[in-house]
Structure 1
Amino acid sequence: MRFPLLLALLGTSLAAVAGPPGYHAPRRFLTPSRQPYHRDPLRISGGVNVAYYNGDLTSKLSHNTLRVGVNVGLTKTLSPHLTFVSDLSYLHLKAVDDYPDRGYSFSADNSLLTGRLQYNLFADKSLYIGPTHKEMPVLVFVEAGVGATIFNPSAAQHGVPLPPEGRNTYPALAAVLPVGGGVTLRASKRLAFTVEALYYFSSTDLLDDISQRGNPDKLDDFGTLTFKVEFSLGKSQKKPLVHNN
């Protein structure tokens, strides 16, 4: 009699530790301060962007023609402060010369692939497990990363198309270093909206196909303003059980 009774008590204890039916404890990680947390599922995103050019022709927003591009991406939470983001974007650059007498202009349709780390300025406490858990409907972050762009500019002077400068051929490839920041608004456990601004330092002076014809000592840069809709691929996390010892 004692042995079956012990087995019954053991089974009851294990069931209590495991939690209620259907409950699956999230995998736990620890912050440097030993705070346990879980990671959100992978998220996919889609959105639109506008791009700004800063190079040999101009640095003025008023001399840029802003056109809408598109992007898709993946987002993965690493910790309450860190998130990894990878985006593939298609963007448009178009600008005219600061100097009307010189009369240069260009347009380009570029592809862009980046990988970035976002740092939340305030810890995402919705990831915490235990009494410190707190819903965070708004996240503010800064970010930086690396990437590459395939660019294909068409330059003109006084409206007359120009041949590629020197022996350059297009499309061409350049490295980029994006830096910036943004805000994420959570509509639900699965749906979020992000607005971010990024500035890209590039390794080329030919985003506009104007180098020797302009200022060969200055590399071309650009920026983007992006609006994204993010959707979680995994099941929503159950609210972590809180055990008061």
Structure 2
Amino acid sequence: MRFRKFSIPLLVLFCVFLSFVTNGQSRRIYKGQYHKGKSQPSISLKKISKNELLSIFGTVGYATYYGDLCDGIDCFKFRPQIGAGALLRTNYLGKRLNIRGDVRFFKLYSDDYYKYRNLNFRSTNWEFILSGQFDFYPYEKMMRRRPRINPYIYAGIGLMTFDPWGQFPDGKWHQLRQLETEHTKYGNVAFLYTAGFGLKFRYSYKWSFMVEGGYRYTTTDHIDDVSIQDYPDASSFNNSIAGQMSNKSTNFPYNGSDAQTPQDYRGNPKNKDGYFIFSAGVVYHFTKNHKPKFKGNDQLLRK
């Protein structure tokens, strides 16, 4: 348990150390400081390609839910996700900080960690995020001075949509929000804030690769349609399906081994739901600096 608690920070530190070692070896043949060059111009549509101000990326990977229906490592039930976005660099923010926008489609799912409670959900979702990305190594216009591996961190805010569905005892899935299984009305859009860590791998002037992972903190406790602690009274529902979806513990035999979950325990309203996103992708840089400036024996001096 202690190793699991510190495994993520240790992994981040190892990745940073690896990037420093790799980049240090690649720069042994070039002595001196980073190439300073001229200050970067302000944003201009005509100069975006020339000064490499804009990059776009596409990613694929997995998403996993974290909330009332799971506990610890049991939460890692991965579902597919696909995303795209753009990075904007300006001289106002320096050579390390970028403005970033993401849009992503993803799925979430969980059955119940406590079998006697017998709840579950699945949901298709969208997220829209605006964030800042800080690169550990500064941007360099000369290709030979760019690091092979550049770690980065990001943090931002955004919105997500969610639409929980639950499985009826007969196997059919029903949309839970309209059933109001807790006699609570809620919307399908929530505010979120996020933070994460990633690595960029240099390939060429126009292309690079990325891997990253991050957590989304949301302002809703209804991604899974489970929030309140006590079950509503079955007689309070006009819809029989809503009543059965609200309390499915009677549909599962209780053998006494699930003592951590009392019969009248449904959710935990003190904690909000969230989810992890793990991605790998490719980045395209809008640039005109992709040809050697010199030929022959001077190719080492190309940008």
Q: What is the rounded CA distance, in whole Å, between the counterparts of 1:27 and 1:59 in structure 2?
A: 53
RMSD: 2.8
Q: What is the rounded CA distance, in whole Å, between the counterparts of 1:64 and 1:118 in structure 2?
A: 26
What secondary structure sits across from 2:145 in the alignment?
coil
The equivalent residue for 1:187 is 203
Q: What is the rounded CA distance, in whole Å, between the counterparts of 1:77 and 1:55 in structure 2?
A: 36
After TM superposition, the structure 1 stretch with the greater mean CA deviation from structure 2, 221-230 or 38-47, is 38-47
The equivalent residue for 2:153 is 142
Q: What is the rounded CA distance, in whole Å, between the counterparts of 2:120 and 2:76 in structure 1?
A: 10
What secondary structure sits across from 1:117 in the alignment?
strand
> What are the residue-to-residue correspondences of 1:163-174 with 2, within 5 Å?
163-165=179-181, 166-168=183-185, 172-174=188-190
Amino acid corresponding to residue 69 of structure 1 in structure 2: Q
TM-score, structure 2 normalization: 0.60
Offset of residue 80 of structure 1 = 2.1
Amino acid corresponding to residue 217 of structure 1 in structure 2: K
2:121 to 102, 106, 117: 106
Q: Does 1:206 align with 2:222?
A: yes
2:86 to 65, 74, 97: 74
Offset of residue 41 of structure 1 = 3.0
Flag structure 2 segments of 5+ consecutive residues without an equivalent.
1-36, 42-49, 229-265, 294-303
Q: What is the rounded CA distance, in whole Å, between the counterparts of 2:95 and 2:193 in structure 1?
A: 24
Contact 2:51 2:287 in 1 (8 A): no
2:288 to 195, 212, 235: 235
Contact 1:176 1:201 in 2 (8 A): yes
Per the alignment, do residues 234 and 135 of structure 1 end up closer, same or farther by CA in structure 2, a change over 3 Å counting? closer
Offset of residue 157 of structure 1 = 6.4
1:41 to 35, 43, 53: 53
The equivalent residue for 2:276 is 223
Q: What is the rounded CA distance, in whole Å, between the counterparts of 1:234 and 1:128 in structure 2?
A: 12
The equivalent residue for 2:7 is none
> What are the residue-to-residue correspondences of 1:17-32 with 2, within 5 Å?
28-29=39-40
The equivalent residue for 2:64 is 52
Q: What is the rounded CA distance, in whole Å, between the counterparts of 1:119 and 1:59 in structure 2?
A: 32
2:212 to 182, 196, 219: 196
What secondary structure sits across from 1:62 in the alignment?
helix
Contact 1:52 1:61 in 2 (8 A): no
Flag structure 1 segments of 5+ consecutive residues without an equivalent.
1-25, 31-37, 241-245
Deviations 1:153-196 (A, max 9, x none): 113466674534324356x1101111011000121000011111
Contact 1:53 1:222 in 2 (8 A): yes
Identity value in percent: 24
Q: What is the rounded CA distance, in whole Å, between the counterparts of 1:81 and 1:233 in structure 2?
A: 18
**How many aligned positions are there?**
204
TM-score, structure 1 normalization: 0.74
Deviations 1:214-245 (A, max 9, x none): 111110011100112111234237789xxxxx
Contact 1:191 1:231 in 2 (8 A): yes
Amino acid corresponding to residue 55 of structure 1 in structure 2: G
Offset of residue 60 of structure 1 = 3.5
Offset of residue 134 of structure 1 = 1.7
What secondary structure sits across from 1:29 in the alignment?
coil
Contact 2:64 2:79 in 1 (8 A): no
Per the alignment, do residues 90 and 231 of structure 1 end up closer, same or farther by CA in structure 2, a change over 3 Å counting? same
Offset of residue 84 of structure 1 = 1.6
